[in-house]
Amino acid sequence: MSFKKNTLTVTPSAFSFSLLIIIFMTAAASVVSASAVSGPAGPPEADTVEIVIASPTSPVVSDFKYDDGNSLILTWVPSIDDLPVGGKVLGYHVYRSDNGGEAKKIAELIPGSNYFKDDDLYGDTTYVYHVVARSANSRAASINTEAIQPRREWVNLNLKYLFLIALIIAASVIYFIETAKRGKKLFVRKIAGLEAVDEAIGRATEMGRSILFIPGINDMDDVQTLAAITILGRVSRVVADYDTKIRMPVARSLVMTAARETIKASYMAAGRPDAYNDDMVNYITDEQFGYVAAVDGIMVREKPATIFLLGGFFAESLILAETGNSVGAIQIAGTARPAQLPFFIAACDFTLIGEELFAASAYLSGEPKQLGSLKGQDIGKGIAMLAILLGVLLSTIAAVGDTETITEILKFITKVFTVTN
Amino acid sequence: MEHFSLWLAAFLTLGIISFLYKDNAWYKLTEAIFVGLSAGYWFVALFWDNFYGKFWIGKDEHLYLYVGAFLGLLMLLRLIPKIGWISRWPLSFIVGATSGLWLINYFSSNIMKQVQATIMPLFSTQYGAGFNAEPATIIGNLVIVFGTFTGLVYFFFSKEHKGAFGYTAKMGIWVIMITFGASFGYTVMSRMSLFIGRIDFLLGEWLGMIL
């Protein structure tokens, strides 16, 4: 393939001419057009030799697939003077004109670039682009792209395999729920931390001391908090049965509301609605360490017999767990944050690691719906384990032997588990 | 005024640190100030950032904000005991939406991307290259594949951890614990830097002992 230097390259004389036109048009108070072809060239140094470069060619703009209708993709063929070694091109500037208005620079890219994704666009606006290659003292603009409007797609086909696997897992969940409903016992292996829940509540009851339930410092939009609230349902049910005192300081107002509803429901289910009190759950503050200071104070003053630390925790995890340990409470902790788990393991009696936290509610309740969900998740893990084993095996064979069929199978497996967008 | 702020900050810092000795009146005072001030601050911040900054300013441009405002209004019905039960609706909406949104996120990052990142040739750096990987690369690849697989086995709840399966699961928990050990040391160091920051304030800014 051969490239000719684009005749639109801006030379000093051409630039001066353009500049005169622009000055004239500005003085006449008229709108300066995008003039994408000539490009908004910068003044070359008067006392330096002009480095003439070829313009980038074939700029093409297309809609970014499977998005919300706010992105476009611009591609072009780089200038033939854009070479890895000894190239004259110092980079590219991308210009965009909105609804036929003046072209404005929207991006500066490094040499070798041939792709730009423009985000935060509007579906009702028409966009035209051109690309300018720039050397030390000259610029060369491409022609304008066609006018285009970003489109919104309602179905993201990039996620079709994710959808398919999710569908398999969902079908498994339904199958297991129905199986459990028919009375078949679903096996779930023993989880030590959860086996200790009843024992921990019993301990508090025997000692006549309270239970402190800390649901982390995240809001209801964190799935760890949801898991904690679900476990709270089971814990508060046993608490209601035993008539034990429960205290739950929270750092988010929505968590307070959800926790009150949950405990109230448990007390009603236990047939003791009169024993429920809104003050069992109280809001402290949204401030992370303000909350910690208050909870630490509660621990040392009330000396709870049992402390649950379940949910999303950050830097406060060790402070809370260590203070709880110092007052002699039996502590059951659980979070899905890998950075905080080591502290809980070091300072607590039982720790629910990641997935165990999410399995807890099903494990504790033994309800068909929750158990079915847990078994369905195991099907997902089974698929993942199988894919890893098969993928690694084929991958190793393909790398060593370069077998075409195996490489094709491997490509398919990799494609299935690749999530884009 | 600057001196007063400095002395106040030092007084409150020492008040919080005094908890290391035992619970005391100084700590209680500091705790109450901290909790009260921060709760008030967050109320004001959330009001101006969310209610005013997002809803009030953006409501004409983004009509869907009215949905959020309406749900927020329903939450306030808790204050009226007779119809307080209506506040469960927005709560249900939040819980349901959170579960749905996180399902895709977790599924994508914890299953799909994890599997994709684990599929790798054990003894080669690229396909068709034969056994060309350095020993360190081979060990690294083996650790990733072995650690991910055994970790998954540990979190498989439908089978008793017995026999070969149990042995694999035990290896998985060992991998997890070794990872936690490394993470523990790393995070403790970052906590130490927080403590050093406070000591730097006390000895440097307050007492001027560090120049």
Shortest alpha-carbon distance between residue A99 and chain B (Å): 20
- The reply to whether B80 and B152 lie within a common domain is no
Q: What confidence tens digit (pLDDT) does each residue in A130-146 have?
A: 999 999 888 999 999 99
pLDDT confidence bin for A421, thresholds 50/70/90: low
Interface probe, candidates B115, B173, B176, B188, chain A, greatest A C-beta count within 10 A: B115
- The reply to whether B209 and B145 lie within a common domain is yes
pTM: 0.79
pLDDT confidence bin for A368, thresholds 50/70/90: confident
Q: What integer pLDDT is reported at residue A47 of this predicted model?
A: 52
Interchain CB distance below 8 Å, A257 and B87: yes
Amino acid letter at A53? I
- What value, to the nearest 5°, has the Cα angle with vertex B54 and ends A72 and B61? 55
- The reply to whether B110 and B151 lie within a common domain is no
Contacts of A268 in chain B (CB under 8 A): none
User: What is the DSSP annotation of B90-144?
Assistant: HHHHHHHHHHHHHHHHHIIIIIIHHHHHH---SS-SSTT--S---HHHHHHHHHH
B6 within some domain: no
Q: What integer pLDDT is reported at residue A111 of this predicted model?
A: 94
- The reply to whether B77 and B143 lie within a common domain is no
Interchain CB distance below 8 Å, B98 and A258: no
Q: What integer pLDDT is reported at residue A4 of this predicted model?
A: 40
Q: In the sheet that A91-98 helps form, which strands lie side by side, from edge to edge?
A: A104-109, A91-98, A127-134, A139-141
Cβ atoms of residues A255 and A229 within 8 Å: yes
B20 within some domain: no
Average pLDDT, chain A: 87
Residue labelled with tokens 């301990």: A203
Which H or E run contains A248?
A: strand A246-250
Q: Which of B119, B151, B171 is the last residue of a domain?
A: B119
Q: What integer pLDDT is reported at residue A44 of this predicted model?
A: 44
- The reply to whether B204 and B146 lie within a common domain is yes
Looking at the structure of chain B, the number of domains it has is 2
- The reply to whether B57 and B106 lie within a common domain is yes
pLDDT at A199 over 80: yes
Q: Which residues of B44-98 form beta strands (DSSP E)?
A: none
Segment A111-119 shows an average pLDDT of 94
B193 within some domain: yes
B73 within some domain: yes
B171 within some domain: yes
pLDDT, one tens digit for every residue, chain B (211 residues): 788 999 999 999 999 999 999 999 999 999 999 999 999 999 999 999 989 998 999 888 889 999 999 999 999 998 998 998 999 999 899 889 988 888 888 888 888 999 999 999 998 887 767 788 889 999 999 999 999 999 999 999 999 999 999 999 999 999 999 999 999 988 888 888 888 999 999 999 999 998 7
B5 within some domain: no
B79 touches chain A (CB under 8 A): no
Cβ atoms of residues A143 and A65 within 8 Å: no
- The reply to whether B141 and B201 lie within a common domain is yes
Shortest alpha-carbon distance between residue B150 and chain A (Å): 9
B30 within some domain: no
- The reply to whether B210 and B138 lie within a common domain is yes
Nearest CA in chain A to B92: A258
Name which of A165, A381, A399 is nearest B121 (Cβ-Cβ).
Answer: A399
- The reply to whether B147 and B112 lie within a common domain is no
B141 within some domain: yes
Q: What integer pLDDT is reported at residue A402 of this predicted model?
A: 64
Domain that holds residue B199: 132-211
Distance CA(A46)–CA(B182), nearest Å, equals: 60
pLDDT at A34 over 80: no
- The reply to whether B156 and B196 lie within a common domain is yes
pLDDT at A48 over 50: yes
- The reply to whether B150 and B184 lie within a common domain is yes
How buried is residue A350: exposed, middle or buried, by Cβ count under 10 Å (0-12/13-18/19+)?
buried
Q: What integer pLDDT is reported at residue A26 of this predicted model?
A: 41
Q: Which of B89, B119, B149 is the last residue of a domain?
A: B119
pLDDT at A8 over 50: no
- The reply to whether B107 and B140 lie within a common domain is no
Q: Which of B119, B150, B171 is the last residue of a domain?
A: B119
Radius of gyration (Cα) for chain A, nearest Å?
Answer: 32
Domains of chain A: 12-141 (2.60.40.10), 186-366 (3.40.50)
Name which of B94, B118, B123 is nearest A400 (Cβ-Cβ).
Answer: B123
